[in-house]
Structure 1
Amino acid sequence: MRILVLGHTGYLGAHVTGRLAVLPGVRVLGGGRSAAADVFVDLAFDSVGRLAEKLASAAPDAVVNCAGATGGDPVTLAEVNARGPAVLCAALARARPTARLVHLGSAAEYGPGTDRVFVPESAAACPVTVYGATKLAGTVTVSASGLDAVVLRVGNPVGAGAPASGLPGRVAALLREAGTGPDAVLRLGDLSAYRDFVDVRDVARAVARAVTAPGPLPPVLNVGGGEAVLVRDLVHRLADIAGFRGRVEEQGAGSARSEQVFWQCSDISAAAEVLGWRPAYSLDRSLAALWSAGVHQEGDRPS
C-alpha cells in the first residue's frame, strides 16, 4: 500500500509519517515543499492539472493531508486551509479517484461550545476565527467531494514537537526562558478556558486507523482527548514537570479565541465505534513528552 502524506515534515505530519511507516506492507511517500519530499507539492499554489500529474505519477492508494497553516494573515490561511483541500480533491478525482483521502481538520471549526456539553460531529459549525473558518471551508470541500474521504477533526494536539504557536508549546518555551529559580515568573493571560487536548501520537494512531479501515467512513470524525481540561491546570502541570519553582501570573485577558470560546470538548464516541480508536496517552504523559523533546518552532505547513 502506497500512502502519500502531505505536510510530512510538520508537527502532525511527522508523527503521522512515523506511525504509518511501521505498518506492514506500507510505503510512505512524503509530500511537501522540502528538498527531502518524495513528491514536491505546494497546495497553496499548485494547479489542479499539475497536482493531478504528480498524483498520477506517485500512484498512492491513500493520501493523508496534514498540510495546514495555523497562523499568519487571512490570505495565507485561506490559500493553505481552504484552497489547498479544494485543489487536492479536484486533482484526486482526476488522477486517483479510488484513493482514500484522510484530511486533518480542527475542532476550531465548531466555535463556542456549551458548558459541560460534549460536541458531536452533527453539531453546527460556527467558527469564531479566520483559522477555524478556513479549516471549515476545507472540511466542507472534502466532505462534498464524492471521494472516499474522511475528515478527522482534531482537538488541541500536545506532545513532542508541539510548536510555540500553540499554547502547550508556547508555555514550554516560556518555562525554558524563565528557568527554575524561586524568583522566576511566568506571565500569561487569563487561563480559565477549558480545552480538549489530545496526544499527537493518538492523532497519528487515529490517522492510521482511518487509512486502513474498510469503507465507507463517515464524512467527519472527532479525534480528541475526550476530556475538558482547565487551561490553568495544564499550565501548572507542565510547570511541575519542568521543575518550575517560581510563580504563574495571569495578567489581563487571554487570547481572543479564549474570550469567545470558553468551553470546548469533543464527543469522540463515533471514532471509537467506527475506527476502534480511543486515546491511549494521558495528558501528563503528553506534557512529559513535550518537555523532554523541547520546542519545535515551525508550524504545520510543509517546508
Structure 2
Amino acid sequence: MRILVLGGNGFLGGHVVERLRARPGALVLVGGRSPGADVAVDLASDRPESLAESLASAAPDAVVNCAGATGGDAVTLAEANARGPAVLCAALREAAPTARLVHLGSAAEYGPGVPGTRVMESAATRPVTPYGATKLAGTVAVATSGLDAVVLRVGNPVGPGAPSTGLPGRTAALLRAAGADPEAVLLLGDLSAFRDFVDVRDVARAAYLAVAAPGPLPRVLNIGAGQAVSVRDLVRGLARAAGFRGRMEEDTGGSARSAEVSWQCSDITAADEALGWRPSHTLDDALAALWAATAEGSSPRPEGERVP
C-alpha cells in the first residue's frame, strides 16, 4: 500500500508517518516543501495541475493531509488551511480519484461549547477565529469533494515534540528553563478554560486506522479524549512531571478569546463505531512523554495543531 503523508515533518505529521511506517507492506512517502521530502508539494501555492502531476508520480493508494498553518495572519491561514485542501481535492480527482483521503481538521471548527456537554459531529460549527474558520473551510472542501474522504476533527494534541507555539510545548520549554530553581516563577496567562486534550500518538493511530478502514466512512469523525480538562490542570500536571519547585503566577484578568471559548469537549462515539478507535493514552501519559522529550533536548516539531 502506497501512502502519501503531506506535512509529514510537522508535529502531527511526524507521528503519523512513524505510525504508518509500522504498517506491514506499507510504503510511506512524505510530501512537503522541505528538501528531504519524497514528493515536492506546497498546498498553499501549487496549482491543481502541477499538484496532480506530483500525485500521479507518487501513485498513492491513500493520502493523509497533516499540512496546515497554526499561526500567522488571515491570508496565511486561508492559503494553507482553506485553499490547500481544496487544491488537494481537485488534484486527487484528476490524478488518483480512488485514493482514500484522510484530512486532519480541528475542534476549533466548532467554536464555543456548552459547559458540561460533548459536541457531536452533527453540531453546528461556529468558529470564532481565523484559524478555526479556515480549518472549517478545508473540512467543507474535503467533505464535499466526492472523494473517498474522511476528516478527523482533532481536539488539542499533546505529547512529545509539541511545538512551542502551543501552550503545552511553550510551558514545557519554560519549565526546562526554570530547572530545579525553587525561586523560579512561571508567568502564565489565563488558565481557566477547559479543553479536550488528546495524546498525539492516539491521533496518529486514528489516522492509521482511517487509511485502510472499510468504506464508506463518515465525512467527519471527532478525535479527542472525550473529556474536558482545565488548562490549569494541564499546566499543573506538566509541572509535576518536570519536578518544578517554583511557583506559577496566572493572569486571571482573562482574554477575549478565553471568554469566547471557555469550554471544548468532543463526543468520540462515532470514531469508536467507524474505526474501532478510542484513546489508549491518558493525559498524564502525554504530559510525561512531552516532558521526557523536552528534558532530553529533543527539538519540537515545526508545525502542529495549536491549543485553540
TM-score under structure 2 length normalisation: 0.96
Q: Distance in 2 between matches of 1:90 and 1:40?
A: 17
1:24-83 deviations in Å (ceiling 9; x for gaps):
111000000111111000001100000001111110000000001000111110000000
Is the CA contact 1:199–1:283 (under 8 Å) kept in the aligned structure 2? yes
| One-letter code aligned to 2:68 | G
Alignment-derived partner of residue 180 in structure 2: 180
1:161 match: secondary structure: coil
Alignment-derived partner of residue 7 in structure 1: 7
1:141 aligns with 2:141: yes
Q: Distance in 2 between matches of 1:159 and 1:292?
A: 10
- In the alignment, structure 2 segments of 5+ residues that lack a partner are none
Q: Cα distance 1:165–1:83, how it changes in 2: closer, same or farther (>3 A)? A: same
Q: Distance in 1 between matches of 2:185 and 2:211?
A: 45
Is the CA contact 2:161–2:290 (under 8 Å) kept in the aligned structure 1? yes
Alignment-derived partner of residue 200 in structure 2: 200
Q: By how many angstroms is 1:178 displaced?
A: 2.1
1:296 aligns with 2:300: yes
Alignment-derived partner of residue 113 in structure 2: 113
Alignment-derived partner of residue 236 in structure 1: 236
Q: CA RMSD in A?
A: 1.1
Q: Cα distance 1:256–1:174, how it changes in 2: closer, same or farther (>3 A)? A: farther
Equivalenced residue count is: 301
Q: Distance in 2 between matches of 1:232 and 1:39?
A: 41
Q: Cα distance 1:213–1:225, how it changes in 2: closer, same or farther (>3 A)? A: same
Q: By how many angstroms is 1:226 displaced?
A: 1.0
2:196 match: secondary structure: strand
Q: By how many angstroms is 1:253 displaced?
A: 3.7
**Structure 1 segment 1-303 matched on structure 2, within 5 A:** 1-254=1-254, 256-294=256-294, 296=300, 298-300=302-304
| One-letter code aligned to 1:97 | P
**Post-superposition, which runs of at least 4 consecutive aligned residues in structure 1 deviate over 4 A?**
none
- In the alignment, structure 1 segments of 5+ residues that lack a partner are none
Is the CA contact 1:221–1:271 (under 8 Å) kept in the aligned structure 2? yes
1:197-240 deviations in Å (ceiling 9; x for gaps):
00000000000110010100000000001110011111011001
